[in-house]
Amino acid sequence: MVQKAKILLVDDRPENLLALEAILSALDQTLVRASSGEEALKALLTDDFAVILLDVQMPGMDGFETAAHIKRRERTRDIPIIFLTAINHGPHHTFRGYAAGAVDYISKPFDPWVLRAKVSVFVELYMKNCQLREQAALLRLQLDGGAGAQSGTGNAARESVGLLAELSARLAAVEEQAEALSKQLDDESADAAAVATAAHLERKLTGLRRALDALEPGTGGPSALPSQG
């Protein structure tokens, strides 16, 4: 079963949170509410999120201060933040949002379709990263068991080759999806931050593919096992 991504919605007004939920419900992901910056930071202590939609104008800890706390934490610093604001104070205000670590800055009232499309890009990137971590974990299993497999029985050798084949097939599926996502970003002239994140993901995939290729029989890697006579 595919795990759903979590999206954090931060706004002090319940009607705004309700509107965001209505817009994003079509993405079929897990939407988590926070009515203040403090509540958002508490949620971020225990859960992983694909993207944060953060209202700028909040009493007490505003969006800028909340974002600063998020970016200071190692666990949360890489989570994309989309600022939402009902007031357009001009370029200086927008620059402050980007300086605080936002990947986008949207003024209300915003186009629901545009907001949903932007969020969906970051959800897809998050999903691809989760898949990549899964492939890396399987690869570590292969590497950890490689030395023992070389001196093991024929069954161990076949299991090693089978695991490698499964890794390669699953990685190929992720590579195909990542390539399609990159083309989609190019077609939609997406935000520079989204394009950069996609490029980073592709570089990771390339590195993992090289590592898998090095394990293929005949390359001298752990899976280059003697044939059974």
- Residue-range domain boundaries for the chain: 6-110, 120-214
Domain 6-110: state its class: alpha beta
Task: Give the pLDDT band of residue 104 (cuts 50, 70, 90).
Answer: confident
What tokens does 48 get? 């992983």
Omega before residue 112 within 30° of 0, cis: no
C-alpha 104 chain-centroid distance: 16
Whether the pLDDT of residue 94 is over 70: the answer is no
Average pLDDT over residues 71-96: 78
What Rg do the C-alpha atoms of the chain give, in angstroms? 22
**pLDDT higher than 90, residue 99:** no
Other C-beta atoms lying within 10 Å of the C-beta of residue 211: 17
Amino acid 81: pLDDT: 92
Q: What is the DSSP letter of 26?
A: G
Q: Which strands form 104-107's sheet, in the order they lie side by side?
A: 30-34, 6-10, 51-55, 81-85, 104-107
**82 — pLDDT class (breaks 50, 70, 90):** very high
Mean pLDDT of 157-177: 67
Residue 225 has pLDDT above 70, yes or no: no
9 versus 224: the higher-pLDDT residue is: 9
The Cα 154–Cα 144 span in angstroms is: 18
Coil, strand, or helix at residue 38?
helix
Provide the CA 15 distance to its chain's centre, in angstroms.
28
pLDDT of 123 reads: 92
CB 202 within 8 A of CB 180: no
pLDDT given at position 228 = 41
CB 178, CB 202: distance < 8 Å: yes
What mean pLDDT do residues 121-149 have? 76
The mean pLDDT value of the chain amounts to 77
At residue 146, the pLDDT reads 57
pLDDT digits 0-9 by tens, 139-164: 777 776 654 545 454 555 555 566 66
